[in-house]
Structure 1
Amino acid sequence: MAYTEFIPNAGACLATTNVTSRRGRVRWMVREDSQDPVDNGWRIMSHIDDEAYLSSEGCWEIVDYNDVCALEPALIEMWSLPVGSDLQLVDDEGGIRILDTATGQQVIPATGGVAATPDEDPHEIAKREDAIASETCTAMSGIPDWTLALTSITFTDGTAPAGRCLLYGAGDQEPDVEPWFATGTLPALPFIREVGLPAKLTDDLARHRGSMPDRNGRLWTTMQYAVQRDGQFYFFACRYR
């Protein structure tokens, strides 16, 4: 995955290997006193981490905070919160929110909720998604053996979009992509290769994004979509923050 600097001089943090490997989705975040000049104090844990795992040898990894933000863009906004912060990430019908663990009070977004769906005619959205799915299949058509493309792209102010496409060989079986959408868990399928997104596809995704603000006027930050090679199946999901 290409490096993107969401936050200048963000420093390093500790994240569990379940987070960095995408086996689990980011869920718990605690900020402790820094142990080193480059340590920003954040400790990032996944939804599947338990006490036994957290106390096991090798479960923690030192990572650039920007790399963790690439996995979960909601972490960008919490970076400046003070030492002692004890937070959890919630993703439900109300959208993605970061809550104070002790009180349940919403911390990010700071005010109000975030609409989980765009304020636009769903038929118009579906037409653009159909075109993007077809364009994705065409862009990857020269690569042999893949049958499933898992694509994600993140937009942040002031930086270039960060996009990636993971190609898998699903054969004739019906792929289960729900765990990837829900927690970032990659499918147990033969991995073909990772490719970047062509410039035209990135531009079309940017235009798609600009056409679908939520009812509060916000644009989505991250979109994931899965496409079968023949284009007969595709599914899109976007996150507003």
Structure 2
Amino acid sequence: MSTAATRRSEWKISPVFLGIVAVMAVTGWAVWTDFAASAGLAVFLFVTSAWIVSLCLHEYAHARTAHHSGDITVGAKGYLTLDPLKYTHPLLSIVLPVVFVIMGGIGLPGGAVFIERGRVRGRWKHSLISAAGPLTNVLFAIVCTAPFWLDALDGVPGVFRFALAFLALLQVTAAILNFLPVPGLDGYGVLEPWLSYKVRRQVEPFAPFGLIFVFVLLFFVPEVYNAFFDAVYALLDALGISQNDAYCGYQYFRFWEDANPLCEQLVG
């Protein structure tokens, strides 16, 4: 294969990603039309596939920004194809995200792209590479909430509205968590280039445990959990999404549980 052909293949969109987009489209249509026998299962598949799409876009944004900042190796690693299998870590990318969504409706971008930072020159470029991923979650949240803040919900089926609200909640939680200035998260990656070499060396050993520390606080310190979701729901409210809409989206997502009477009433 020629070098030119190799380079073109590095940018070719993965069939795996296109397949996930197709699942998202079909299940979104099933939720909208109430075609599925189980509305909850359709919501689960729609939100999960849309979440994986957002994960791919999150990691692609990191890689694409790195590519334009000097790390041309990201193409050979497959990061520019949007293939989720290229970003996958069995625990961080599959197990933990599903567990956290089911346990508490928290979006955890679990992929990983490995940037050769030595190829990137300039502190602003390093910061932008780290910020690009969570900014994608912000953009995804804006798109999901557009019908709400544009007051364009006339004709939108109730269950689809709930699914969008819950998907927006996942994007908002992911953006907030990623922007925390905690070692191992993107927020720290934004700040790191501006810290002294001594500080970076002192913090480096804690990076693998930063995410674990955050979730221990969230799930075992009620005050932290409540403050976090107060901030999430305040942002959602500013975007036109009520807490009931997001809550009902979460309830439909957990299709294996009995339907909530409040949500069934709100659908009607």
**What is the TM-score normalised by the length of structure 2?**
0.26
Between Structure 1 and Structure 2, the one with more strand by share is: 1
Q: Which is greater in Rg? A: 2
Between Structure 1 and Structure 2, the one with more helix by share is: 2
**What is the TM-score normalised by the length of structure 1?**
0.28
